[in-house]
Chains A and B, each alone.
Chain A
């Protein structure tokens, strides 16, 4: 632990020194490099303007807004059940996970709690969307660093998970399956057996990726010690999810927060890594996929019987009040601050998405790094454009 801590510190000092060197020693002519908005490293249309001195970044500034869809404004003209269709499209790789915190916030305001079977199935689908999301990250990671093979494995194996989600909800990418008070439907026949098989396949995929990528010397040398985020900085910027845990913060909302989801019924590890560098962030995500498959396996054993909908009025009016609910989404902490004034639709919804906070650290983090590392760092921070811009 102390050894790794020292290394982290050294990397941090090295970054600072590099920063200072750029400012005093080198007197080369500067250059402005524009990355994006169409760049494979950005999962969408993030544009980064980097001011370079030689190969080093003096400052970098991400420009968001190419995909701003104004969901916060749109929620104000929709009814509560309709909002789930919008929020599905925030993090489009793990759509179901976006619905859950909003529905939980509405349920909290209404004083409704979903039946235990619904909570259980919600948790299963939540973890499945995490697996689908992070699987693609693991494949995509290779592409960013010049290894094309893993992405094919990732797309192949994500398909199994998407098939499961489609089988249960009817939607591959946008399930829109969560309802206030429960779920739209019960699980289809054969879902449990099929899921068990897929989870086994996914664990195989994790082993494969670990062999292909994480053991690879080039991958290691390009990610180790690159983009180190110390613990206190990560907290200040409000980073969350695997990015925070990779900086050694042992904090997972699935475990640490009481919510009407089935996480208290399963036994799982929260993965942390003391380094805080790009490698740590990728490694934590890989382990979390493994852990998620175990969570799903355990949940499949114990699905309770019973209804999937609580008694809710047909026309949903949410009583006056304010509620905050956040969950541990694939990208990090995603929360909704819902203000209701007793109407059919919310009065104001603040969507606190994980990527927005995770990416807001880039101007600080990219200072002093070399150009190829920009791509590595962005890839390891892992963001979805829809999750930044909303």
Chain B
């Protein structure tokens, strides 16, 4: 999933995005760790944490002036599954293997940002690994003004710091809130108390009793 060679053979070539990613990689040089193009879909690059801020600046000069979003992904599989466990039963053993998505990764937390070239709607997703011991990267708030709030949100939800951010106050949560809710090991308490019956829901289709797959009504 994480390598550039993983494109199905039948998809048509996407010369525009191939050329674009080559241009971006050439401009960013050695700071690009990995890149991925999905034909007629989207582009992903992963950069080193040191180059995070300069990546934003470079991409801005390359025409990616529209700020999409900044957020983070916690790649740890949730120790609580999807909240389907019976709270009275002994805890279920779950895998703790961290498996990153497109453009790879080495750390549990990754920050992801999206920038778009206005008018062409050619967008690029930029990922960066966040070192577990540092838990901080540089801020983009001086590069894209809109990053300010997104970084505040990411900070409170994931506990990732942004060096150089003017004011990392909580965006949504009370100031004295403990923990980082979007981390996978932060339990969703409502589900811990009582498993939600809707978890097994499969909507019955009208007039369809057969077990076979598919519905072409």
Contact = CB atoms under 8 A, between A and B. Distances in A.
B146 A360 contact: yes
B121 A312 contact: no
List the 3 closest A-B pairs by CB distance, nearest first: A65-B172, A238-B67, A237-B146
Interface of A: 64-65, 68, 70, 72-74, 76-79, 81-82, 108, 232-233, 235-239, 249-251, 253, 256-258, 307-315, 320-324, 335, 337, 339, 341, 343-345, 348, 350, 352, 356-357, 360-361, 364, 389
Given A81-B203, A235-B118, A311-B216, A350 B71 contact: yes
Given A82-B201, A238-B66, A337-B112, A309 B181 contact: no
Contacts of B149: 356-357, 360
B66 A77 contact: no
Contacts of B40: 258
A321 B41 CA distance: 12
Contacts of B198: 78, 82
B146 A315 contact: no
Given A77-B188, A309-B217, A361-B146, 7 more contacts: A65-B172, A65-B173, A79-B199, A238-B69, A256-B119, A314-B214, A341-B99
Given A73-B188, A108-B41, A238-B69, A68 B173 contact: yes
A350 B41 contact: no
A233 B144 CA distance: 9
A339 B118 contact: no
Interface of B: 1, 40-42, 44, 65-69, 71, 73-74, 77-78, 82-83, 99, 101-102, 112, 114, 118-121, 123, 125, 144-146, 148-150, 157, 170-173, 181-182, 184, 188, 191, 196, 198-199, 201-203, 205, 211, 213-217
Nearest to B170: A65
Contacts of A364: 145
B172 A68 contact: yes
Given A253-B121, A339-B101, A357 B213 contact: no
Contact of A235 (B1, B66, B123, B215): B66
A228 B216 CA distance: 52
28 contacts: A65-B170, A65-B172, A73-B181, A73-B182, A73-B188, A76-B78, A76-B184, A77-B196, A78-B82, A232-B65, A236-B146, A238-B66, A239-B146, A258-B40, A307-B217, A309-B216, A311-B214, A314-B205, A314-B213, A321-B1, A335-B114, A337-B69, A341-B77, A344-B82, A350-B73, A352-B68, A356-B149, A360-B149
Contacts of A352: 68-69, 114
Nearest to B60: A236
User: Chain B's interface: helix, strand, loop or mixed, by majority?
Assistant: loop
A320 B68 contact: no
B51 to A, nearest CB: 21
Contacts of B214: 311-314
Contacts of A77: 82-83, 188, 191, 196, 199
Given A232-B65, A339-B73, A323 B82 contact: no
Contact of A237 (B121, B145, B171, B202): B145
Nearest to B183: A73
A314 B69 contact: no
B71 A337 contact: yes
A186 B146 CA distance: 41
A64 B145 CA distance: 18
Contact of B215 (A258, A309, A323): A309
A74 B114 CA distance: 23
Given A309-B217, A313-B214, A324-B123, A235 B73 contact: no
Nearest to A237: B146
B192 to A, nearest CB: 11
A348 B112 CA distance: 12
Contact of A320 (B1, B82, B184): B1
